Chain A
Amino acid sequence: MTSDRFTIHLQPIGRRIQIRPDQSILEAAQLAGVEINSVCGGVGLCEACRVRVIKGQLSDPTLDEQNAFSTDEVRQGFRLACQAYPQSDVVIDIPPESLSTPQRLQLESQQKSQELDPVVRQSTVEIQPPSIEDLRSDVTRLRAALQPEAGNLELDYCVIQKLPGLCRSSGWKIQAIFHQSKLIQILPATPRPRILGLAVDIGTTKVAAYFVDIESGGILAQAGSMNPQIAFGEDVISRISYLINHPDQRKHPNQNLLHQRIIEGLNKLIDKMLSEIADPLISHENIVDAVVVGNTAMHHLFAGLPVEQLGISPYVPAVSEALYIPAKDIGLAIAPAALVYLPPNIAGYVGADHVAMLLPTIYPYYSDSDKKHSKVMAIDIGTNTEISLLNNGKITSCSCASGPAFEGAHIQFGMRAAPGAIEKIQITPEKKILYKTIGDQEPVGLCGSGILDAIAEMYSANLIDSKGMFLNNHPNMHIEGRNMEFVLVPAEESGHHQEIVLTRRDVNEIQLAKGAIRAGINILLAEAGLMAQDLDAFIIAGAFGTYIDIRSAMKIGMFPFVPLERCHQVGNAAGAGARQMLLSKRYRQIASELANQIHYIELSNHPKFADEFSKSLFFPAKELSI
């Protein structure tokens, strides 16, 4: 008997899902909302989606799988979820290393004094109750009550739906909430409601969300999570190619799984923050404004816009101007008529998140007539690294494909910044290795800042040379033919009783990543005719940038040498910029002005890129004292 659907049991999570025989186990997990790691987007390359079949029949192992597993592992039933298709009902075990793990997320960012000039405002309205002599409709009554203050009042349909009930339950005294001249929400007037705004920074890897009190400007709650789209690929291109390879998902961009997952993820964060506030008078209905920033692909996926064109050169966005989208149109669980603001994008790979990041970093210099001629560079390091330079009152930006190595991907003992990750390393003059882990737990791997420290310290201690070659200068250095590794933590000290090592291959990955970043920095500086030493400020934003030791980044040549007092690590500047736009109309205008004014430099076909990149691959001379 053949069946057109099989049931997949996903263990140990205990989820079940039915799929067709032409859908892979990875797709089953994605449909079931189980986040299996997938770096390559399901093409059998990254070997991150390892699972074990416990019961049932799967398609034969592919060539990629035969390469990925030892014969022993094959016997135990190990498979790559993206390459295995069901031929019967099956039970699948997902080992913990294949699940996306909870992480430390970076939310804190410098809070600057904020001007208050929000787009949304509220006022109390007393409505004349009806009587047998006065049969006007509720809406007509509301208009009459609002007359002096709003001539051409626009009413959202959702407001009309609520109006009769609310008028009668609240004694004809209601609180009207306006977005410009549009009435978007009504609430009981007593006690005077608090109105909240939602600020969101959607990163390719992480999502950060904040509740802000629109009238006081204070942060009421904040929450972070992994971007649930990770199950569809770790980088933007993998996610776009998932959609290209699934035409059925492409028919309705506002219904595809990636759009749905990010909306669901944000709604979970909203619920989490509401339960944290735990105020019976504050619900989804009180969230009346939202600002969402992200790179261009995240922006498009959130807004339900097609992204296929972003995966192919010349990487043109569907829209670059600012957008307002009614929350109910995309299913965001806030006041349904609230208008979600998406700031403008700059280019295919430089999105609204970078515009938001510029507001608290470069804009204060740009807007100040005394500082306007400062030379300021701001850099946000991620899977894509965006860099902007202010020079002569003009801003130039570029984006470098630095890859996920600093997130721990492609590094043998790499991991994200979660408990047990080594975040700092020092090698003493006696060549003793000191380290610190997140949460002070037993070490299990290295996060980005730890990897950077390890390489910088090994270079300083003469354990690797300027080309990244390993030198036999330490008892922990193991060099056997092609295998070159340096033991950072012996097996007996680690959380999993395995040695934690850094390999020559790991160093190579970082050389490629830091080479791309440095090439971007050098090209921006060269186009402006500047040297790094000319910079008045060097601002490092973003999660990874907050935790790194800048001296390590300079030692390995990822950053040029800039006097340390001019370097500023500012945390999640994109989130801070999103909050500024939530609280100020003026900042929304500024965002549009910046986006129009910025000169974008495409690096991938820049004539100097290959040369700058190859020059930046090795480590710089050590004489530079830092």
Chain B
Amino acid sequence: MSQEIFAKLTNSLVDGDPDATFEATKEALAAGIEPMAIIKEGLIPGMNIVGEKFSCGEYFLPDLIIAADGMQKAMVLLEPELLKRQQAIESAGTVLLGTVKGDIHEIGKSLVGTMLSANGFKVHDLGVDVPTETFIAKVQEMKPDILGLSALLTTTMVMQREVIKALAEAGIRDQVKVMVGGAPVTRSWAEEIGADGYAEDAMGAVQIARQLVGK
């Protein structure tokens, strides 16, 4: 029975049908399956297949966005259940994530967040238009392994440099690895501003994050 529901969850993500993911999650909870099992046996395998298909060029950004949408819809149902059981998802590392000040682009940053979560990272998403001071304060408070900075505009990517500078000024630059990304961001930009990691897309971000926490 539960195998069937897990397959349904996995397939709904691979087929890009977020409403089906949502329904299958409801069904799984109603059938008494533990939320952690739903995530580990149903959702994560689905996201991994989508990620692999994306990496090998079979899937494209729309497929990834839609799968992430399904994953998020499922998590809306699962998170309260996890809280009730006082369970936390095992973590490969913690990532603090946000889009820099002056930039309100959400989708790319959230996609990276979802793919990192699906791969076992604990992700704190600070949202969009995040002031530099907030990044600094949150790094000090949460002590994440990785800070991810997204910028989608050539006019706002300069803020990535500002955040890295501010980390140094606050004396905490060596306490956190910084990853940068976003449409106008390039590898040479990442090197120029002294970021620790850069990836072209959400799947690349997962690999880089793994490398960064592996030390």
**Which chain A residues have a beta carbon within 8 Å of chain B's beta carbons?**
40-41, 43-45, 62-64, 67, 237-238, 240-241, 244, 308, 311-314, 467-469, 481-483, 504-505, 508, 511-512, 515, 604-605, 609-611, 613-614, 617-618
B54 → A minimal CB distance (Å): 11
Cβ–Cβ contact B60 & A505, under 8 A = yes
> Do residues A44 and B188 form an inter-chain contact, with CB atoms below 8 A?
yes
Are the C-beta atoms of A614 and B186 separated by less than 8 Å? Answer: no
Pick the contact of B65 from A40, A308, A469, A617 — CB < 8 Å? A617
Contact string against A for B residues 124-140, beta-carbon threshold 8 Å, 1 for contact and 0 otherwise = 00001100000000000
User: Could you give 18 example pairs across A and B, Cβ below 8 Å?
Assistant: A40-B154, A44-B186, A45-B184, A45-B186, A64-B187, A237-B155, A240-B155, A244-B158, A312-B103, A312-B153, A482-B57, A508-B61, A508-B62, A604-B104, A604-B105, A605-B128, A610-B110, A617-B65
By a beta-carbon cutoff of 8 Å, the part of chain B in contact with chain A is 16, 18, 56-58, 60-63, 65-66, 69, 102-107, 110, 128-129, 153-156, 158, 184, 186-189, 191
A468 contacts B60, C-beta separation under 8 Å:
yes
The reply to whether A512 and B62 form a contact with Cβ atoms under 8 Å apart is yes
Q: Which residues of A contact B65 (CB under 8 A)?
A: 613-614, 617
Complex Cα gap A411–B65 (Å): 21
- 10 interchain residue pairs of minimum CB distance: A482-B57, A311-B155, A312-B102, A617-B62, A241-B154, A508-B60, A63-B188, A614-B69, A313-B104, A241-B155
**Provided the pairs A240-B155, A604-B106 are in contact, do residues A618 and B187 lie with their beta carbons within 8 angstroms?**
no
A481 engages B57 (CB within 8 Å):
yes
Asked if A43 and B106 make an inter-chain contact with CB atoms under 8 angstroms apart, the answer reads no
* Nearest-Cβ distance from residue A328 to partner chain B, whole angstroms: 32
* Chain A residue, CB-CB nearest to B128: A605
Is B104 touching A43 in the complex (CB atoms < 8 A)? no
Partner of B186 from A43, A314, A511, A617 at Cβ < 8 Å: A43
Q: Are A64 and B188 in contact (CB under 8 A)?
A: yes
Instruction: Say yes or no: B56 contacts A482, CB within 8 Å.
Output: yes
Task: Verify A618–B129 contact, CB threshold 8 A.
Answer: no
- A396 CB to closest chain B CB (Å) equals 20
Contacts of A614 in B (CB 8 A): 18, 62, 65-66, 69
Interchain CB contact under 8 A, B154 and A618 = no
Given contacts A481-B57, A614-B66, A618-B62, 16 further A-B pairs with CB under 8 A are A44-B188, A45-B184, A62-B188, A63-B188, A64-B188, A237-B153, A312-B102, A312-B153, A313-B102, A314-B104, A467-B16, A468-B62, A504-B57, A511-B62, A605-B104, A611-B69
Q: Which residues of B contact A504 (CB under 8 A)?
A: 57, 60
State how many angstroms separate the Cβ of B195 from the closest Cβ of chain A. Answer: 14
Contacts of B186 in A (CB 8 A): 43-45, 63-64
Contacts of A512 in B (CB 8 A): 61-62
- Report the Cα distance A202→B186, complex, angstroms: 31
* A610 and B69 contacting across the interface, CB-CB below 8 Å: yes
Residues of B within 8 A of A611 (CB): 69
What's the minimum C-beta distance from B46 to chain A, rounded to whole angstroms?
15
Bound-state CA distance A511–B16 (Å) is 14
Q: Which residues of A contact B60 (CB under 8 A)?
A: 468, 504-505, 508, 511
With both chains docked as a complex, state the minimum distance between the C-beta of B158 and any C-beta of chain A, in angstroms: 8
A283 to B189 Cα, complex, angstroms: 51
- B110–A43 CB distance below 8 A: no
Pair A43/B184 contact, Cβ less than 8 Å: yes
Q: How far is the CA of A85 from the CA of B4 in the complex (A)?
A: 62
CB-CB nearest in chain B for A483: B57
Contacts of A238 in B (CB 8 A): 154
Closest residue of chain B to A233 (Cβ to Cβ) is: B154
Closest partner residue, chain B, to A469 (CB atom): B58
Taking a contact as CB atoms under 8 Å apart, the answer to whether A515 and B62 are in contact is: yes
> Chain A residues near B66 (CB, 8 Å)?
614, 617-618
B128 surroundings in chain A (CB, below 8 A) = 313, 605
Measured in the bound complex, the distance between the Cα atoms of B101 and A311 in whole Å is 12
Distance between Cα atoms of A311 and B152 in the complex (Å): 11
Chain B residue contacts of A481, Cβ below 8 A: 56-57
Smallest CB–CB gap between A295 and chain B, Å? Answer: 16
Task: Return chain B residues, CB-CB under 8 Å to A610.
Answer: 69, 106-107, 110
Select B129's contact among A241, A308, A313, beta carbons within 8 Å: A313
Return the contact of B63 from the options A467, A482, A613 (Cβ within 8 A). Answer: A467
Name the CB-closest residue of A to B57. Answer: A482
Look across to chain B and name the residue whose beta carbon is closest to the beta carbon of A507.
B60
Residues of A with C-beta under 8 A to B188: 44, 62-64
Distance (whole angstroms) from the CB of B63 to the closest CB of chain A? 6
The residue among B61, B62, B129, B189 with the most chain A CB atoms within 10 A of its own CB is: B62
Closest to B63 in A: A467
Assembled-state Cα–Cα distance A313/B184 (Å):
16
Most buried by A among B104, B155, B189: B155
- Supposing A43-B154, A511-B62 touch, asked if A618 and B16 sit within 8 A by C-beta, the answer is yes
Query: Does A241 contact B61, Cβ atoms closer than 8 Å?
Result: no
B102 neighbours in A (Cβ, 8 Å): 312-313
Do A313 and B103 touch across chains, with their CB atoms under 8 A apart? yes
The residue in chain A whose Cβ has the minimal distance to the Cβ of B158 is: A244
What A residues does B189 contact at CB under 8 A?
A: 43
Within 8 Å CB of A613, what residues of B?
Answer: 65, 107
Residues of B within 8 A of A483 (CB): 57
How far is A604 from B69 in the complex, measured between Cα atoms in Å? 17
Q: Are A63 and B103 in contact (CB under 8 A)?
A: no
**Alpha-carbon gap, A312 to B16, bound state (A):** 33
Give chain A nearest CB distance to B37 CB in angstroms.
26
CB distance from B98 to the nearest CB of A (A): 13
**Which residues from B are CB-within-8-Å of A240?**
155
Contact B156 A312 (CB under 8 A): yes
Name B66's closest neighbour in chain A (CB-CB).
Answer: A614
| B62 close to A244 (CB less than 8 A) | no
Once A468-B60, A511-B62 are accepted as A-B contacts, the answer to whether A605 and B69 lie under 8 Å apart by CB is no
Distance A614 CA – B105 CA, assembled complex (angstroms) = 15
**Whole-angstrom distance between the alpha carbons of A511 and B61 in the complex?**
9
Chain B residues, CB < 8 A from A45: 184, 186
CA A331 to CA B62, docked complex, whole Å:
47
> Once the chains are docked, how many angstroms separate the CA of A63 from the CA of B190?
11
**Given contacts A40-B184, A64-B188, A614-B69, are A311 and B153 in contact (CB under 8 A)?**
yes
